[in-house]
Amino acid sequence: MGFTFAYRLILVVATASLLGVSLANKDWGSPNSNYTGWGWGWGSSKSNHTGQGFNNHPLNETQGSKKIIVGGSENWHFGFNYSNWAFNNAPFYFNDTLVFKYDPPSNTTFPHSVYLFPDRWSYLNCDLKRAKAVANTTEGGGDGFEFVLKRWTPYYFACGERNGFHCKVGSMRFMVMPLFRWHY
């Protein structure tokens, strides 16, 4: 009796999990949804759907990796909310490249850098002792510093200048979690 109940419970959980995973990326076609353009369901790319979805990003029919300038036209500077930027520009995928563009230090600009934190706790506390400097104050000039998202893990970025002040005030930090690209 106990084995039968446990077996049925496992079967129900497994079925619910498979159903949840299969529906998680289904294209529901709602104009306010994160439109994926996979061609399933209402408003698929074969219908009259405009390809405009979450935050009015155009549908990207190409499935290759992208180069994404951190902050968009704002680049990497003090006073811009990069957490909001990352949320509004998600999702990010494996092998996408984040490009950090910032001016090298001068008499008129504050220096910036890019630090990568090993975990959420050190990120939230801006613990630079545990973070790794991945770009110094001069690497953001010109075409910028490029960082490729190569693992399925959260990436926690921040500016480490001014003894972590740019990170601590909350504006020059963000996290991304790259997703798998599915090809059908």
Residue 125 has pLDDT above 50, yes or no: yes
pLDDT in tens, 24-78: 544 444 444 444 444 333 333 333 444 444 444 444 444 688 999 999 999 999 9
Mean pLDDT of the 105-123 span: 93
- Write down the pLDDT at residue 181: 81
* Within-domain flag for 175: yes
For 93, the 3-state DSSP assignment is strand
Residue 125 lies in a domain: yes
| Cα gap 149→42, rounded to integer Å | 32
Q: 100 pLDDT exceeds 60?
A: yes
Does any domain span residue 49?
A: no
The chain-wide mean pLDDT, for the chain, equals: 78
Domain assignment present for residue 53? The answer is: no
How far apart CA 21 and CA 85 sit, in angstroms, is 27
Q: What is the DSSP letter of 56?
A: G
Tell whether 129 is covered by a domain. yes
On whether residue 14 sits in a domain, the answer given is no
Residue for token pair 């709602």: 30
Residues near 141 by beta carbon (within 8 Å), at least 6 away in sequence: 101, 102, 103, 104
pLDDT in tens, 1-12: 555 766 676 666
**CATH number for the domain that contains residue 142:** 2.60.40.420
| Domain-located, residue 40 | no
Residue 109, in any domain of the structure: yes
The pLDDT value given to residue 9: 64
Give residue 149's pLDDT.
97
- What would the mean pLDDT of 101-119 be, rounded to a whole number? 92
Which residues form the domain of 170? 64-183
Provide the number of structural domains found in the chain.
1
Predicted structure pTM score: 0.65
